[in-house]
């Protein structure tokens, strides 16, 4: 199917870039105008975490939408969305490290080791870092396409860690409504990939004990 003209338009990427910056602009405006509620630090930590999860869902939605809707041009936005996911994840960690821990490295290390939900979230951030660092063409050439693809499949494990981090964070207040929504979206997106992978496996000659016919 031919790509939609608007996806290939030169203005498409700048528009997506500007849209992805809007949450940051809104948060910055809230900081400058002192309009983030009674606890601005908590608001920033939670808001940046929420936007990280939203961009994670967007990144994982690109391939299913591209395949199901027949829009291969969507792939050109995946790298940008992935980098914005890392951007908001970095803001999330910096908000925690700065507002909660005053950038005291010893205290941060002790807190990560002591609280499982922070350990899980920090682990997701650490795993996400090499993905962001290799999101450019030179890295693909240096690693080779196969190794690069295997490295970037870490995003599936990161999705699991992210939703576990969110679940444990909300467990203290027994508020699981949003966790269920994000969990369902991620389960659907990852389940679609598992279903496709199983389908490819079953279509492979020799699968299920069937030997390919030699010609």
- Looking at residue 207, what is its pLDDT? 55
Residue 3, classed as helix, strand or coil, is coil
pLDDT of residue 205: 64
81: tokens are 């969305």
- Closest by CA to 23, choosing from 2, 67, 54, is 54
- Mean pLDDT, the chain cut into blocks of 10 residues (215 residues total): 74 96 97 92 96 98 94 93 98 96 96 95 97 93 92 96 95 87 97 91 64 43
Q: Exposed (0-12), middle (13-18) or buried (19+): which is 95, by Cβ within 10 Å?
A: buried
- Global confidence as pTM: 0.90
Q: In 13-22, which positions are buried (b, 16+ CB within 10 angstroms) versus exposed (e)?
A: eeebeeebee
Number of neighbours of residue 168 by Cβ within 10 angstroms: 17
């Amino acid at each position: 199917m031919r790509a939609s003209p608007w996806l290939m338009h030169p203005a498409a990427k700048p528009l997506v870039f500007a849209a992805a910056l809007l949450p940051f602009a809104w948060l910055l405006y809230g900081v400058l105008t002192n309009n983030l509620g009674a606890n601005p630090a908590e608001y920033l930590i939670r808001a940046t975490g929420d936007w990280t999860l939203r961009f994670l869902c967007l990144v994982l939605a690109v391939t299913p939408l591209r395949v199901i809707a027949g829009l291969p041009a969507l792939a050109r936005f995946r790298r940008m969305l992935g980098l914005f996911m890392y951007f908001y994840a970095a803001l999330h960690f910096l908000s925690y490290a700065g507002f909660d821990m005053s950038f005291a490295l010893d205290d941060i290390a002790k807190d990560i080791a002591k609280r499982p939900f922070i350990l899980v979230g920090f682990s997701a951030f650490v795993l996400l870092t090499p993905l962001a660092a290799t999101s450019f063409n030179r890295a693909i050439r240096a690693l080779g396409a196969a190794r690069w693809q295997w490295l970037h499949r870490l995003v599936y494990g990161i999705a699991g860690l992210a939703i576990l981090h969110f679940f444990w964070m909300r467990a203290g207040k027994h508020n699981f409504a949003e966790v269920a929504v994000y969990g369902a979206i991620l389960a659907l997106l990852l389940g679609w990939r598992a279903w496709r992978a199983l389908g490819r496996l079953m279509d492979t000659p020799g699968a299920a004990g069937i030997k390919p016919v030699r010609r």
